[in-house]
Amino acid sequence: MADEILGPFPYSWWVIAAGLTLIVVVIGGWVWLFRATRAPRRDRGTTEASSSPAPTGTDPWARARKDALASIARIQDEHLAGGLSQREVHQELAAVLRAFTHARTGVRAESMTLSDLRAHSAATPAAELIAQLYAPEFATRAPLSADEGIERSREVVAKW
């Protein structure tokens, strides 16, 4: 009887079921993790480079525009009250414009360098003004006064 060859022993059904369940759970976990950490989906009709409002007749950026204009008015009030220097006004205006650009185009303008921002065609209107605000932010003498910066920022937000 020692010469008799025995075939492999079959696995129990629960071992196969447990293995398949484990594979499904791991794949499901990866899918959930991928979807949970993704950026929110944008409408298929708009793209990152889109800079024209939807044809419905309503302004889809009205809330972002209203918030940005309110922030610019707050900056102007603080500056007139003497609470902000010219340099601080330009820094705050650049931050407001970057936030508005992000809301308007989806471009993460808050964390981009100026050259990165200029590379996005959708962000051109704000990028040009942010470039003009850079010198007053970092230099001792500014070619653009605080009042001019406020007015130009207001124009860009209102018209764009």
**If you average pLDDT over every residue of the chain, what do you get?**
81
Mean pLDDT across 135-149: 73
- The letter for the amino acid at 104 is R
- Banded model confidence at residue 40, pLDDT cuts 50, 70, 90: low
pTM exceeding the 0.85 threshold for the entire prediction: no
* pLDDT of 120 over the 90 cut: no
- Banded model confidence at residue 45, pLDDT cuts 50, 70, 90: very low
* pLDDT of 18 over the 90 cut: yes
For position 1, what pLDDT does the model report? 56
Higher pLDDT, 135 or 21: 21
Mean pLDDT across 104-118: 81
Which sequence spans correspond to the domains of the chain? 62-159
* pLDDT of 122 over the 70 cut: yes
Contact residues for 93 (Cβ-Cβ < 8 A; gap 6+)? 72, 75, 133, 149, 150, 153
- Alpha helices, DSSP H, located in 5-144: 13-37, 62-80, 86-105, 114-119, 124-138
Mean pLDDT across 96-101: 89
Higher pLDDT, 81 or 134: 81
**Cβ neighbours, 10 Å, residue 142:** 19
For position 27, what pLDDT does the model report? 97
